[in-house]
Amino acid sequence: MATAKKSTSKPKKKTLKLELDRYSGNVGPDVVDVQALYKNHGVFTYDPGFMSTASCQSAITYIDGDKGELMYRGYPIEQLAQQSSYLECCYLLLFGELPTTDQLIEFEDTIRNHTLVHEQLMTFYHGFRRDAHPMAILCGVVGALSSFYHDSLDVNDPEHRQLSGYRIIAKMPTLVAMAYKYSIGQAFVYPDNGLTYSGNFLKMMFAVPAEPYEVNPVVEKAMDRIFILHADHEQNASTSTVRLAGSSGANPFACIAAGVASLWGPAHGGANEAVLDMLAEIGSVENIPDYIEKVKDKLNPTRLMGFGHRVYKNFDPRATIMRETCHEVLSELGVNDPMLDIAMELERIALEDDYFVSRKLYPNVDFYSGIILRAIGIPTNMFTCIFALSRTVGWISHWIEMLGEEQQKIGRPRQLYTGAKHRDFVPLSERKKK
């Protein structure tokens, strides 16, 4: 089978000395302004994976990777996880300030008014195989929302942007729960607007029409905290995907569907599912040393899932909160999950091993979240859908921030070209058999 030809030429190295403007934000690293670099000097910056590139200005979330700090609009995640609610954090991320009591009540009522989805949307679910991955379903149905809400697709209208944001934040729990019910062959459960955002989600996930359903307050609080911890995270891969899609003027539902697709990757939001699969593969505490050796073997692509982070070179503060919540929830539910024992021992061994310490690889948000979700009764293949549900407010907040900017440009990166130089077409009859 023909394989794509890899470029063989090695980029040639020279040195360029330049004076460029440097800007400071309110906190965090300065930036060097390279916007006019190509126009003035005929060169591009080169930064695969954007290791040192600031793609935009933003006032929503700040991460200090060395200190292991995360703030939504300046408020530390530890305080929000302890004292706030997911919907209050949604208000904070969207509008920049904590709401007053009246503002919060009005916002919660608004979100409640949009929890239902069009009855026709249910037909989309029945087009999928029952064993379709829930993220495949979510990619499809979120994008399909564009076909139902023609009254809020003008991305240049601030009211349309806000209404679309309310709609997608309100409907994600309904869509995610429907993906779960469809996968297990149970009837869809309609939203119950008498419950909290997280309580309503749990009911849509676990209630059955034949019996009453009581929301467990311990599970409700844990679910809400998991939603808070995953709500936003600066310019991560899926948020950058939403921004790039939005920069072309694509409608909000299409942009969020792009974010869902990017989040699915195991290097990103798919890691929580991959962590549970890894813990299951390890199987017991005794097998951990062999697994660690496999991870450290350069010839082996296996990675320690739930470990490492592009920005955090210290503990991911969300992992610390998640670990504490894990113990709380499992003890309050009386769950004794051997996976937690394996995870704790795996973390202990890894944090004493120079391979991980020297590379500053610490547990990230995904390392413990799956164990709590499992304890709540959510199946592994639904974990990334939970992440997408929570991150929707982050995606929408960044999309709204970007579209609210004075100067807007379509995102269009350039490249370092290492392919074939100009050559003339060769007719088929004259091509030599390779």
- Choose which of 226, 295, 321, 373 interacts with ligand SDX (CB under 6 A): 295
Gyration radius from the chain CA atoms? 24
Query: What residues form DSSP beta bridges with 62?
Result: 71
Cβ nearer to ligand SDX, comparing 152 with 364: 364
53: burial class by Cβ within 10 Å (0-12, 13-18, 19+)? middle
Q: Which of 133, 230, 233, 309 is catalytic?
A: 309
Number of residues that bind ligand SDX (CB under 6 A): 22
Q: Which of 114, 118, 268, 327 is catalytic?
A: 268
Whether residue 230 lies in the annotated active site: no
Range in contact with ligand SDX (rule: CB under 6 A) among 84-92, 169-177, 194-202, 268-276: 268-276
Q: How far is the CB of 356 from ligand SDX (least distance, A)?
A: 7
Q: How far is the CB of 281 from ligand SDX (least distance, A)?
A: 14
Whether residue 398 lies in the annotated active site: no
Structural tokens at position 356: 């991980």
CA distance 397 to 8: 42
User: Is residue 259 within the footprint of ligand SDX (CB under 6 A)?
Assistant: no
- Choose which of 246, 306, 317, 370 interacts with ligand SDX (CB under 6 A): 306
- Choose which of 141, 361, 388, 396 interacts with ligand SDX (CB under 6 A): 361
CA distance 84 to 81: 6
Identity at 135, one-letter amino acid code: M
User: Is residue 370 within the footprint of ligand SDX (CB under 6 A)?
Assistant: no
Identity at 28, one-letter amino acid code: G
Dihedrals phi, psi of 64, to nearest 5 degrees: -110, 105
**407 with 260: CB under 8 angstroms?**
no
Q: How far is the CB of 305 from ligand SDX (least distance, A)?
A: 5
Structural tokens at position 275: 């962590």
Q: How far is the CB of 269 from ligand SDX (least distance, A)?
A: 6
**330 with 337: CB under 8 angstroms?**
yes
CA distance 367 to 129: 30
Structural tokens at position 249: 């003027």
Q: Give residues 176-235 in contact with ligand SDX (rule: CB under 6 A).
A: 233
Cβ nearer to ligand SDX, comparing 206 with 264: 264
Range in contact with ligand SDX (rule: CB under 6 A) among 11-19, 135-143, 177-185, 267-275: 267-275
User: Is residue 68 within the footprint of ligand SDX (CB under 6 A)?
Assistant: no
| Site of tokens 């844990």 | 222
**273 with 384: CB under 8 angstroms?**
yes
Structural tokens at position 44: 């591009």
Q: How far is the CB of 236 from ligand SDX (least distance, A)?
A: 3
User: Is residue 303 within the footprint of ligand SDX (CB under 6 A)?
Assistant: yes
Query: What residues form DSSP beta bridges with 422?
Result: none
Q: Give residues 225-244 in contact with ligand SDX (rule: CB under 6 A).
A: 233, 236
- Choose which of 241, 364, 392, 397 interacts with ligand SDX (CB under 6 A): 364
Structural tokens at position 347: 């973390």
Whether residue 366 lies in the annotated active site: yes
Q: How far is the CB of 171 from ligand SDX (least distance, A)?
A: 21
User: Is residue 347 within the footprint of ligand SDX (CB under 6 A)?
Assistant: no
User: Is residue 84 within the footprint of ligand SDX (CB under 6 A)?
Assistant: no
User: Is residue 308 within the footprint of ligand SDX (CB under 6 A)?
Assistant: yes
- Choose which of 271, 319, 378, 388 interacts with ligand SDX (CB under 6 A): 271
Q: How far is the CB of 217 from ligand SDX (least distance, A)?
A: 27
Cβ nearer to ligand SDX, comparing 36 with 267: 267
- For helices 252-263 and 237-247, the axis angle rounded to 10 degrees is 150
CA distance 312 to 361: 8
317: burial class by Cβ within 10 Å (0-12, 13-18, 19+)? buried
CA distance 121 to 115: 13
CA distance 258 to 260: 5
Q: Who contacts 326 (Cβ-Cβ below 8 Å, separation ≥6)?
A: 340, 368, 371, 372, 375
Q: How far is the CB of 239 from ligand SDX (least distance, A)?
A: 7
Q: Give residues 91-150 in contact with ligand SDX (rule: CB under 6 A).
A: none
Structural tokens at position 224: 């809400």
Contacts with ligand SDX by CB under 6 A lie at 49, 233, 236, 267-269, 271, 295, 303-311, 359, 361, 364-366
* Positions marked active-site: 268, 309, 366
